[in-house]
Amino acid sequence: MTRLLTTIAIIGFLACAGCAADEFKEPLGASVRQAVAAQKLAAAPPSDAPVVGLDGAYAQGVMDNYRKPPKSSSKAQKTLQLNFGDSGDKK
């Protein structure tokens, strides 16, 4: 019995030791460093031409709709009822 418990304890310790190893080899932050380097290479906009493709009146309508609160389908206030346990009917 002692031998079995010792074996189980050793296997448990080895399993925990395997999880504790610091073997993470991926370069953390490489994508951020790459993005920062790309911004340093081309920091200025490509040209001084105005942005084409968005109508000002349409953009104003989109922003007005974005800022409005959502429309409620009914004026009645919705309630939530939660029942836990029995309903209290004791017969």
**69 or 67, which is more confident?**
67
Q: Which helix (H) or strand (E) holds 34?
A: helix 30-41
Alpha-carbon span 12 to 9, nearest angstrom:
5
pLDDT bin (cut points 50, 70, 90) of residue 76 is low
- Which helix (H) or strand (E) segment holds residue 17: the answer is helix 2-19
pTM of the model: 0.26
**Mean pLDDT over residues 62-84, rounded?**
80
- pLDDT score recorded for residue 87: 63
Per residue in 1-27, pLDDT (tens digit) is 889 999 999 988 888 776 665 666 677
Tokens found for residue 80? 């939530």
Radius of gyration of the chain (CA): 32
